[in-house]
A and B are shown apart, each in its own frame.
Chain A
Amino acid sequence: MNSSVIWAVVIGMAVVNFAIRFPSIAILSRTELPAWAKRWLSYIPVSAMATLVVGGVVRPDGRWLGPLENPYLWAAAVTGVVYWRLRSFLGATVVGVICFLAFTALLG
């Protein structure tokens, strides 16, 4: 692939990503928001994580997988339980990846 095309993509992505991330932090931290807006924002982290989990688990790589052919789903269930019991981010992630490899082998 043409090197200048790659550099254009790299620079474009850098600019766009910062332009997306920065303004809302800068502006809203200097604005007094009404109570309902603060409450609304407080629900964003849990909603966003749930959305990311669903996207990554029920349709990995853009392909819908049923429960019996889906190692992602079962590995995520184990990961969630491990985090819930141990409160260890690292432990849950490592156990999750190991379970994923095991379930992948099991479910073919």
Chain B
Amino acid sequence: MLCYHRRMPEEMRKQDTCPSQRARFVRGLKLGLPIFLGYAPIGAAFGIVARGLGFTPLQAAVCSGTALAGAGQLIALQLLGAGAGVAAVVFTTAIVNLRYILFGAALSQHVTGMPLLRQAFLAYTLTDETFAVNIDDSRRETASFASMAGVGVIAWAGWVLGTTVGALAAGAIGDPTRFGVQFAMPAMFTALLVAQAEDRTHVLTAVVAAIFAIGLMLILPDPWYLIVAPILAATVATVVHR
């Protein structure tokens, strides 16, 4: 069995030089537990809105289970509700999710040498949150396929379970915004942003990205700033820190 750990704190190395696949998977599940708790209510909100638009609970659950596209799915519902056609809906969600090309590119540097099928599974469970958690874990060199799969599985479960409960119990739950569901994503993004801001360079890069984001939101049609702002900020950081 290949041990992905290349460098670990002395303390940890003494206890456990190379944990089992199972132990790493379970570690991933624990790392991803906050994502589960964050996704479940947002998934429920998606399920409720989807039911309102005429999705069956099965359709809502299959949509969440196969697309796993948070904001992309909610925007799709908005467009469907506004009477947009299938192609327009799919195209818009694609643009909302274009940033995953960047995320996949960044993640690729941490999964070199991994078999294609495993990479396909990680791609399937790639979301903003699983990406940030796995990158953070990879930087500490404690990530492996098993741990990343654990993060992916539990995030997927939260999203699909939430959607199913929301779609089945839409009437009983009522308006999910009274529980503050609409802040669950921004809250996770904020915590994950602070987790990525490991040194001065990264903090400055975050500030540059924030400025680009605001500027681009003003001049570009939505949701292009989501992909253009990170590209510009990373370019500035790379050029400045040559």
Contact = CB atoms under 8 A, between A and B. Distances in A.
B205 A16 contact: no
Contacts of A60: 182, 186
Interface in A83-108: 83-84, 87, 89-90, 92-94, 96-98, 100-101, 104
Contacts of B97: 16-17, 20-21
Contacts of B119: 22, 25-26, 29
B192 A16 contact: no
Interface in B209-223: 209-210, 212-214, 217, 222-223
A54 interface: yes
A45 B131 contact: yes
B1 interface: no
B104 A83 contact: no
Q: How large is the interface on B (under 10, 10 to 19, 20 to 34, 35 or more residues)?
A: 35 or more
B121 to A, nearest CB: 10
B194 A80 contact: yes
B132 interface: yes
Given A6-B54, A9-B89, A21 B100 contact: yes
A100 B185 CA distance: 12
Interface stretch (B17-25, B166-174, B225-233): B225-233
B234 A43 contact: yes
A49 B192 contact: yes
Nearest to A14: B66
A16 B90 contact: yes
Contacts of B93: 13, 16-17
B123 A18 contact: yes
B195 A48 contact: no
Interface string B174-213: 0000011011111111111111110000100111111011
A14 B123 CA distance: 12
A61 to B, nearest CB: 8
A93 B37 contact: yes
Given A21-B126, A90-B34, A53 B86 contact: no
B76 A9 contact: yes
29 contacts: A3-B54, A3-B59, A9-B76, A13-B67, A17-B66, A17-B100, A22-B119, A24-B102, A24-B108, A26-B108, A26-B116, A41-B234, A42-B109, A49-B128, A51-B230, A54-B209, A55-B213, A55-B217, A56-B186, A80-B190, A83-B190, A83-B191, A89-B188, A92-B194, A97-B179, A97-B183, A97-B187, A100-B187, A101-B179
A-B pairs with the 6 shortest C-beta distances?
A96-B187, A24-B104, A14-B66, A1-B54, A12-B90, A28-B108
Interface of A: 1, 3, 5-14, 16-18, 20-30, 33, 36, 38-62, 71-72, 75-76, 79-80, 82-84, 87, 89-90, 92-94, 96-98, 100-101, 104
Interface of B: 33-34, 37-38, 53-56, 59, 62-63, 66-69, 72-73, 76, 80, 86-87, 89-90, 93-94, 97-109, 111-114, 116, 119-120, 122-124, 126, 128, 131-133, 135-136, 179-180, 182-197, 202, 205-210, 212-214, 217, 222-223, 225-226, 229-231, 233-235, 237-238, 241-242
